[in-house]
């Protein structure tokens, strides 16, 4: 396929897949299908087209991290202690099993830790609709489960940020330097975020047709500035989103405003680019079989842990809400690919793909009327300027 044919195919997929997934009550399946489409397109597209999609995926990667940060609304620390403790033991109980699977696959220690942090985590954006409409949760357990999801996501981001150094350079003093860099990033962005919120507010009030473009451009400019200052564009995107997570403008969140470019365009391209870096023949290999069997093993192990030791307060199927983790697996795979660990990245993304597909399939379907995104309000043009 040449570049024009690929672009036409991408446009059709970007328009059709999210709507079809919502229609069939599985809105979280969209990113799974984008990875699969990337796998299917891999042997068909030319090398220059792959490069083009991968470069666009780099921008989508930053928006994924920004939206992951936006998803996380940290409660007061006293309220967060119990969910954080649960998330720690939930994740720890799976680390040794995942690292054993990673060892069988051929990953080294640092790659195994990266895989364990991602595959024991939870992608809040994927599990949100399932949690919102899950009938086996009510009252305090419902709030507790969503806080556990947040804790798992935060823990994974921290480990993945540090793990990238371990994969590239091994364990040593660079780990401490990386932690110090994270601390500096958090401090600087926390001081800067309030000014960004005001700037977002000004853009939303003063623009109409170009509002979405300006908002996304501002996020990318801040990430580029952070990267120039040595703070890493990825960490800048995540912590910027984290400190803006409670911000709302005209009753809508930031992620709803930027959705036409982020969720509808660049983020799907990021997931598709991950599929493009995996040889489609790997789906019929021993590696894919290990990932599939490991996914079923992890699902069964989590059910046993939830049923016997780490109960959430919901019914026996509540643990499924903590299983979708494709977003975290994608972030880990991206870090592993940057360290040229192609085998590890392939196993992690396939494992996250199978885990998310199995767990989301076992959750109840979401009614079509309940998963439509809220429309973004448009102010009166008479009071705005382009």
Per-residue pLDDT of the chain (386 residues; tens, 9 = 90+): 777 888 888 888 888 999 999 888 898 899 999 999 999 888 888 888 888 898 999 999 999 999 998 888 777 888 899 999 999 999 999 999 999 999 999 999 889 999 999 999 999 889 988 898 898 888 899 999 999 999 999 899 888 877 666 665 555 666 667 667 667 767 777 777 778 888 888 888 777 677 888 889 999 998 988 887 766 788 789 888 888 887 777 778 888 889 989 988 999 999 999 999 888 888 889 999 999 999 999 999 999 999 999 999 999 999 999 999 999 999 999 989 988 899 999 999 999 999 999 999 999 887 655 555 444 343 443 443 33
pLDDT in the model for residue 178 = 65
Q: What are phi and psi of 248, to 5 degrees?
A: -135, 145
C-beta atoms surrounding 284 within 10 Å: 9
- pLDDT value at position 175? 62
Q: What is the pTM of this model?
A: 0.86
Tell whether 255 is covered by a domain: yes
* Residues whose CB is less than 8 angstroms from the CB of residue 235 and which lie 6 or more positions away in sequence, other chains included: 161, 181, 182, 185, 226
In a domain, 383, yes or no: no
Q: Given this model, what pLDDT does residue 194 score?
A: 76
Domain containing 339 equals 3-376
> Which token pair is 350?
């396939």
385 is a domain residue: no
Tell me if 386 is assigned to some domain: no
* 228 located within any domain: yes
Number of structural domains found in the chain: 1
Q: Which residues contact 27 (CB under 8 A, 6 or more apart)?
A: 18, 21, 129, 366, 371
Residue 303 in domain: yes
Give the CATH number of the domain where residue 369 resides. 1.20.1530
Task: Let me know if residue 43 belongs to a domain.
Answer: yes
Q: Is 170 left (phi over 0), alpha (psi -120 to 50) or beta?
A: left
pLDDT for the residue 371: 54
384: in domain: no
- How buried is residue 291: exposed, middle or buried, by Cβ count under 10 Å (0-12/13-18/19+)? buried
Joined together, the tokens standing for residue 314 give 């919901």
């Amino acid at each position: 396929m040449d570049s024009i044919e690929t672009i036409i195919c991408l446009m059709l997929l970007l328009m059709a897949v999210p709507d079809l997934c919502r229609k069939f009550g599985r809105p979280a399946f969209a990113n799974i299908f984008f990875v699969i489409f990337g796998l299917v397109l891999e042997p068909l597209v030319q090398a220059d087209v792959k490069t083009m999609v991968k470069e666009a995926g780099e921008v989508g990667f930053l928006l994924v991290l920004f939206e992951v940060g936006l998803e996380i609304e940290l409660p007061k620390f006293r309220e967060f202690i119990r969910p954080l403790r649960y998330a720690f033991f939930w994740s720890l109980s799976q680390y040794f099993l995942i690292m054993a699977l990673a060892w069988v696959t051929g990953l080294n220690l640092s790659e195994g830790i990266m895989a364990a942090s991602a595959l024991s985590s939870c992608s809040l954006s994927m599990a949100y609709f399932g949690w919102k409409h899950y009938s086996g949760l009510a009252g305090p357990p419902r709030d507790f489960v969503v806080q556990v999801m947040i804790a798992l996501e935060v823990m994974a981001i921290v480990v993945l940020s540090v793990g990238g150094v371990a994969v590239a350079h091994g364990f040593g003093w660079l780990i401490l330097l990386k932690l110090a860099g994270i601390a500096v990033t958090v401090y600087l962005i926390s001081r800067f975020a309030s000014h960004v919120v005001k700037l977002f507010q000004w853009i939303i009030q003063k623009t109409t047709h170009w509002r979405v473009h300006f908002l996304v451009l501002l996020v990318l400019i801040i990430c580029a500035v952070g990267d120039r200052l040595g703070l890493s564009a990825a960490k800048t995107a995540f912590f910027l989103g984290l400190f803006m997570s409670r911000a709302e403008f005209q009753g809508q969140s930031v992620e709803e405003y930027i959705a036409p470019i982020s969720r509808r365009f660049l983020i799907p391209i990021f997931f598709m680019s991950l599929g493009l870096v995996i040889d489609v023949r790997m789906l019929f290999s021993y590696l894919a079989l290990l990932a599939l069997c490991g996914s079923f093993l992890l699902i069964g192990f989590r059910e046993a842990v939830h049923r016997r030791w780490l109960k959430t307060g919901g019914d026996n199927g509540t643990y499924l809400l903590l299983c979708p983790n494709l977003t975290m697996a994608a972030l880990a795979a991206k870090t592993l690919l940057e360290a040229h660990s192609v085998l590890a990245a392939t196993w992690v993304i396939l494992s996250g793909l199978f885990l998310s597909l199995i767990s989301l399939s076992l959750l109840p379907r979401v009614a079509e009327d309940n998963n439509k995104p809220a429309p973004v309000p448009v102010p009166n043009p008479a009071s705005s300027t382009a």
